Amino acid sequence: MRRWFGLAIFALLFWSSAHAYELNDSHFHLTNYVQEGTDIHEFLKIMGGRVGRVALFGIPLQQQWSYRDAGMKAPKYYLDSDAPLYYYSFTDAFIAMAYKSLSKTEQARFDPMITGFNPTDMYAADHIRRVLETFPGVFSGIGEFSIHKEFVSGKVAGEVASLNDPALDRILDFAGEVGLIVILHNDMDIPFPKEQSDVSDSSLKVSAKPAYLEQMKALFLRHKKTTIIWAHLGLGRVVRPVKDYAAMIEEILKDSAHKNVYFDISWSEVAKYLVSSPEAARISADLINRYPDRFLFGTDEVAPKNQKEYLKIDEQYGPLWKLLTAEAGEKVKMRNYERLFDQARKKVRSWEREQKATP
């Protein structure tokens, strides 16, 4: 009896501790575009008692330091240089070893993700498999990785990534087979889209249909067994919401054929659109309140130095949080993360055991 009472007290204390957190972070970069970042033990201190769990990844691209371009001034960000970016596979080993340096209790607060692959390479799925086999018990998903991304796609050395590439299909097929969550960055539109003249009235200007929306929907349909989180709602630094944008997102949300698709509302560059005005915040909140199970909050912070810097995005979204129902707010900031990543952990660990048992 005493033993069971002790276990009950432990469970209660664990439950109370777990529920004291304010949020889980579905989108976090421990390292930057030159593979420098925050020590994971220091980051645990930054999370403190406010952040419960974090989807942990680096950045799959390395900014080349070209002396011809920058001289001795080392670039730290992709906008700091005209030199190309290239895929950096060692990021996966770095993230895995950082995770493995933690205690089991500390590890439980992280869900590492595989990012160090080239999505134009038909061997990319094989890279993901090798990472899982080399570091069993570590990874829960893949991403964030990018296909079409403003100012980045054109800088990447080699072939241009495409939503129609069979290499991407191989990646998402494998993720679905294993149970890996996919965090995919793909801008809904091109930067600075031109207006088009209406056929019936040449004087009437209307926004062009988002360049990649239909391709994304087709990709979702080809991979119904894969859990996909569309990062940043398809928005970006200059890729802003088009007319009827919320309706376009809702069309995906209400279609049962896309029930495997989720959206993260990470990044300060996205927040500037969603809370740009009381009307924008209301439209955003109304959509989330109608589909509270399909959105996750992420910071998209990169190697923060302190908690204030790390969680400034949570404050930026303040006007939106105030308009969400209590249930929706809890799901977006906490419960949806736990549900999806707990499922992924279970499926991936099961797949790993099956591979180990297979001669």
> pLDDT tens for residues 202-230?
433 445 689 999 999 999 999 999 999 99
Looking at the chain, the whole-number percentage of residues with pLDDT higher than 70 is 91
Name which residue leads in pLDDT, 10 or 298. Answer: 298
Taking 60 as the threshold, does the pLDDT of residue 235 lie above it? Answer: yes
* 8 Å CB contact between 244 and 189: no
For 82-141, write each residue's pLDDT tens digit. Answer: 999 999 999 999 999 999 999 999 999 999 999 999 999 999 999 999 999 999 999 999
Q: 200: how many CB neighbours lie within 10 A of its CB?
A: 6
* Predicted model pTM: 0.91
Q: What's the confidence (pLDDT) of residue 200?
A: 40
The first and second tokens of residue 145, run together, are: 């990785």
Q: Is 314's pLDDT higher than 50? A: yes
Report how far residue 85's alpha carbon sits from residue 156's, in angstroms, rounded to the nearest whole number: 5
Question: Which domains does the chain possess?
Answer: 23-192+204-357 (3.20.20.140)
Rounded mean pLDDT of the chain? 91
High-pLDDT (> 90) share of the chain, %: 84
Residue 200: alpha-carbon gap to chain centroid: 41
* Cα 165 from Cα 178, distance rounded (Å): 21
What mean pLDDT do residues 241-269 have? 95
The pLDDT assigned to 146 comes to 97
> pLDDT tens for residues 131-148?
999 999 999 999 999 999
Position 356 scores a pLDDT of: 86
